[in-house]
Each structure stands twice: as structure tokens, then as C-alpha cells.
Chains A and B, each alone.
Chain A
Amino acid sequence: MSYKLPNEKDLQAMIGIVGKEYATNNKAITASYLSKSVMGLESQIPDIVIRPKYVEEIRKILVYCSAEKIAVSPVSGGLSGGFACPTIKPGGVLLDLGRMNRIIEIDEENRFCIVEPGVTNGELWAYMHKHHPDWAPPIPDGAPPAATVMGDAIDRGFSLYTSSVGPQGDNFMCGEVVFPNGDVVRTGSWALPFAKPFYKYGLGPDMWSFLMGSQGSFGVITKVAVKIYPHPKFKTVVVWGMDNPYDMQDLTLEIGKQEFGIAHNTVMVQGGNYPLVMARWPKDKIPHDYNFYKEIGISQWWMNWECWAQTQEELDYVTNRIDKMAEDFKKRAKSPDAIIKQQLHPKQIASRMKKPNKIAIPYSFWEAGFLFITWYTPWNESAHFAEMYTKKMEEYGFPPVIWIASIERCRQAICMPIVCFDSTKQSDFEKVQELNRDTTEYALKQGWLNYRPDPYIHVQAYYQAGMYWKYLRAFKKLVDPNMIMHPGRLALP
């Protein structure tokens, strides 16, 4: 597929749509949108950047670009961690949706909020904290405050109550999307004029789900209705440590299966290994040997259960039950003596419960760069994944940092190796890519899914899922006939 390189005439056309203040091909400005970290190492400087504010502007831009066969990559105001979906080849137009930043409605009775793509986690959280303090939006835990709810969902993310309620996509009920064929479509019940966005399955099949995980390659989402959940005052964190990932996996699964019980109270269940702590500091200014971490009370592996409850009684019940189950689990554990409850200082608990937060950011402090090569596995394969990947990371000379979180009460695991490397060295870049290729081949054979597939290495998954990909392509062709949206993502076109 070939694309047109935008020229001055195209820029003028964009200026005609949004005004000269909001469209540019200034080389300094376009270069500033680059990003090669966090979720992807491929990024190309776009040719034109546009900052639209209105749906009609977006519609006109997409129709124009479709007719001219100019590639378009939309980016919502934040970035789900480092411009997760920057422009890649062939460049083209980047739509910076940061000006579309209205919080349109919060409906406490029907329990949804309607936001535009540029609304950041921080803004939404603060707004609800102030005006609707009994409710919490599904912001992604660990993504920076400047990331967006929308970007996280489009890119198959998770929320701060993901272990209890499921993946982020499940929190999205209805949306409004502009397709390059010029159509503006509302999904779910919102498709009906005057209807509230209260039901995802609306008039028929759920079109919204086609957009979840699309990485901006189908259209531009201009509004979403997202579930909000109660934000109770009774919260705490319980942490149990162990010395291997299998005990971590199995104990967590036993607790995760307590559905209609404590599993619904454990909103965020996440853990990992001690290098998660180590790699947040400069490589030459932190001990690497586990004994140091042992002395300060950090287990080799651990799991956090963040518990929310409507009453103190309920909270106490949940935490006591977790503790009892952990004690009982020792009888079946691989290393029972290593299963220890970690005592947290109230400040540590407060820090872990702070949302949104910057905990995922400092992994660049280790050297100068990191990549999350993240996968979804069934929960009961997460230990296998962790064992395999940490071994591979060490083979390639990287610290074996891994984070794992439960989705939907341990139905799925999000397994995130954090590959910390020196991005100033081309040789390190190449090693990371090699590690990625090596592990991708293995992971796909196990039936594991890449979380946010990059367009060069993880793309092989689509070739292996030929029939699925055929229908994906067909849908894309329907709404994006000239395949201009974020070409390369999802192996499309």
C-alpha cells in the first residue's frame, strides 16, 4: 500500500479546517511528537500535526486524508505511558486530540461518565474527587496522570479495579467514532437519538468492541461513556511474599476464585519480583544482590491485594480472609517457609493506594530507557511466563524485572517484563529487539497474546490468526476504505 507524502497544499487544506494556529508542518514541532520507549521503540516524525477540537473538524480531516491517501495517526491527550502509539512509517498526519478535553457528563444514578479523548487520568480523577467524591473513574493504575482513560482502553489496557471488574474495555459502554469514510457513528444504546449511553449491546451487536484494541487504526473516537464505580472510604493493601512465581500464581488464584465473595473486593491485585524495586534506581547506585532487599523486608516475589469495602467490618473480613487463605496455602506451597506476610507502614499503604500515580515512570533511571513487553496469559500460566521471561532477560544481560496483575479475578494475567536498557546504545536496542523476537516466538506457541502489539515483531500473531485477521481487515476496509488510519498497526493494511 502506498501513501502520499503530505505537501504544502495538504497543510493549507488542514489549516482551512482547523485554523492556522492548529495545523503545522514546522519541523521542530513535528519532531517533538516522537517517542521511542515504554511500549514501542518505533517512531517516525509525522509530516503534519493537527490539533482539532470539534467532531466536524475531525470528520473533514479524515475525509480529506482518505481521498488523498494520507496516513493519519490519532493520539489522545495523554499517552498510556510514553506516546504508546506514535506515528510509524509512513508518517503522515498526527492528530493530537489534547484539545478535546471536556468532561461532558457524570451520571451517578446510571453510573457512567462521558469524556472526550483528551481528558487525562489526573483531570478526571481530580474532578470526581471534588464533585463526585463517592465515585471513581476507571483510570489505569500505574499509567502516568497525563495518560488518558480513552487511550488506555483503545490500547487494551486495564483499570484500577481491573481484578474485580475485568479489562478496561468492559468499562466502556458506548462511544462516538468518526470513520474515514465520513460517517460519525454512535454505538450501543447511544445509536438511538435521545437515548442515554447506558447499555453496550444497544440495538444489536456491539460495534464498540471492534474499536477496543484497535490502536487508532479504525477511526477517531471522539466521546466515550465509561462506567464509574463506588469509591468507598474503607481501603487497604495486603501483601504476601514468597520466593517463587508458582506460589505467587497459585495463592492468588485461590483467592481470585472467591467470586461473589472477597475476590470482588480485591480491586487491584498486582505483584512481581524484587528487581521491580531495584530497577527504579540508577544501576550503579543500588545493590543488585537480593540479600539487601531481604534485609529491608522485601520478598523475592510478592502479591499486593488492594481491598475496597463499604464498611470497616467488610474490609476487616476481606483482609482476614486473605490472610487465612495465605496461611492455609502454606500446606500446598512449593516453599511454605518463604510465604510471609509483609508488614506495611501506613505511609507505604497510602503510597500504594495513591491514584493516579507515577510508579511506572522511573524505570528509565536504571540506565536510559525501558520497554514494557507485555503479554496476556491465562492466570494459571503466568508463573510459567514469569519463569521463562526472567530467565531470558538474564540471558540477554537485562535485569529480570517483571510485574504481573490479575484481570477479572484471575481469569487473565497481564504479565509485564520491564526491559531496562541503555537506549543510547544501538547494540542495546538490537538486543532488546532480539529478546522480543525470541520470546514472541515462544509466547505465541503457548497461546499467549501480546498486550500492545508492535508492528514489526508481534505482527506475526496476526499471520498465525489468519481467519481472525481476514475479518479484521474486512471491517477496516468497510470503515477505512483507503486504509489511512495508523497504517502498520494490527498488521493492517
Chain B
Amino acid sequence: MEQIPVLKLGDFLLVSIQVELHDELVLNLQDDLTSRIEKTHARGVLIDISALEIVDSFIGRTLGHIAAMARVLDATTVLVGMRPAVAITLVELGMSLKGIRTALDIDKGMALLRLSLDEASDETGEFS
């Protein structure tokens, strides 16, 4: 089965999508990521889409579903590296990816994930 690699880095899972997505591939990613969050107890997911030239409504919607599922499993998702032409196209298509956090690049995305982890631990006092 064709698969997008999911890498574990500390508390986070990293996904760098290097091939154009088709429906089945993005659905596989959704299944794979949710089970990996459960197994690894990851607190954040970073999805790099800088190599993607096309994000249509199905892929956009599925990325939104992934973020929503991750949230229910207590993990924050950040989508990074969207190309400007893809951003323009998605908004014109009518998808503004509400409910999914974005950052310009991997560095900023990782910073955002660390920040959300700090905020979460401040709230619960678990690690303080």
C-alpha cells in the first residue's frame, strides 16, 4: 500500500508530503496518523505540504478532518508550507480551512506546536 511516512520526533509527529495526493492516499494518511497518535501519545502533528501543487476540496476537507480527529485525541495539528497559489485557489474554491492552524514553514510550525504544548501544561499544571 502506498503510504506517506509519519516520523516521530519527541512529542510530535512529522509528516512531509512529497508526492501529489490522491483521494486514497490522503485517506490512508488520515487512518495512519490517528492510529499513530494513539500509539505514540503524540501531542502535536506537523504536516508539511510545501511540495503540493494541488489541494482540491477533497484533500482540503480531509486535512481539516485530520486536524479535528487529532484534536479529539488531544493533539494539535499545524499545517505548514502551503504555496501561495494553493492558498489563493483554496480560498476561491470556498475553503478557508477553518479549525486548522497554519504556519509558513517547518520552523514556525514547530514553534507553534511547542507553544501549544506549553500552554496546555500551564493549564493543567501537570508538568509545572
Does A associate with B in a complex?
no
Binding site for A on B (CB under 8 A): none
Binding site for B on A (CB under 8 A): none
